[in-house]
């Protein structure tokens, strides 16, 4: 019997996490299923077939899982953008706002070379604050963001528009209305 599940079917929703009123879209159930994970990576890659991409940037932390797999399939390097204090070498940093607080992201100062074409990958696009911080870091290093790819978009929270206003093309596999 064929499996007609979509990526969205593999994602569970956990109500009231990390705080009351939040509907948390949990992609770990997608990652743990080999078929679901393969479908996800194949669909994340699809729009970029034949496009020049020099490196994939994964945003902390689930973006590391996805970004590493995407970079492997594209045969390009992978660069993690992490929370402040997690990278051992010399870094540059960017402050940003989360849905429920502020944070700082960092990248090694030699991870991206001027003119490199970069694909940004993460699990979820909500308000766009994390993605915007990542894009700003890449651009400060002289990299060119060719696109940003996400498993889930939460359109009601405005992240897609925020990235579009920055001139960033986005690709997502599924969306959930109402956050």
Q: How do 12-15 and 23-26 pair as beta strands?
A: antiparallel
Catalytic annotation, pick one of 62, 82, 160, 162: 62
Q: For the chain, what's the residue count?
A: 179
Helices (H) then strands (E): counts for the chain: 5, 9
Catalytic annotation, pick one of 8, 60, 93, 99: 99
Query: Pick from 175, 153, 155, 171: which is nearest to 47 by CA?
Result: 171
Does the CA dihedral 43-174-136-164 come out positive or negative? positive
Annotated active-site residue 62? The verdict is: yes
Supply the DSSP string of 87-118, one letter for each residue: -SS-EEEEEEEETTEEEEEEEETTSS-TT-EE
Query: Pick from 41, 116, 101, 102: which is nearest to 74 by CA?
Result: 41
Name the residues annotated as catalytic: 62, 99
């Amino acid at each position: 019997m064929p499996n007609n599940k979509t990526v969205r079917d593999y994602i569970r929703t956990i109500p009231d996490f990390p705080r009351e009123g939040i509907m948390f879209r949990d992609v770990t159930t997608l990652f743990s299923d080999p078929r679901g994970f393969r479908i996800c990576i194949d669909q994340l890659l699809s729009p970029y077939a034949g496009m020049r991409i020099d490196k994939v940037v994964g945003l902390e932390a689930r973006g590391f899982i996805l970004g590493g797999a995407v970079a492997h399939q594209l045969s390009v390097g992978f660069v993690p953008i992490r929370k402040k204090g997690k990278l051992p070498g010399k870094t540059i940093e960017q402050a940003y706002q989360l849905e429920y607080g502020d944070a700082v992201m960092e990248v090694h100062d030699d991870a991206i070379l001027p003119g490199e074409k970069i694909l940004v990958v993460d699990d979820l696009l909500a308000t766009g604050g994390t993605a915007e911080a990542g894009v700003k870091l890449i651009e400060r290093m002289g990299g060119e963001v060719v696109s940003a790819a996400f498993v889930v978009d939460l359109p009601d929270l405005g992240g897609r528009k925020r990235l579009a206003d920055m001139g960033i093309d986005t690709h997502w596999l599924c969306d959930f209305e109402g956050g």
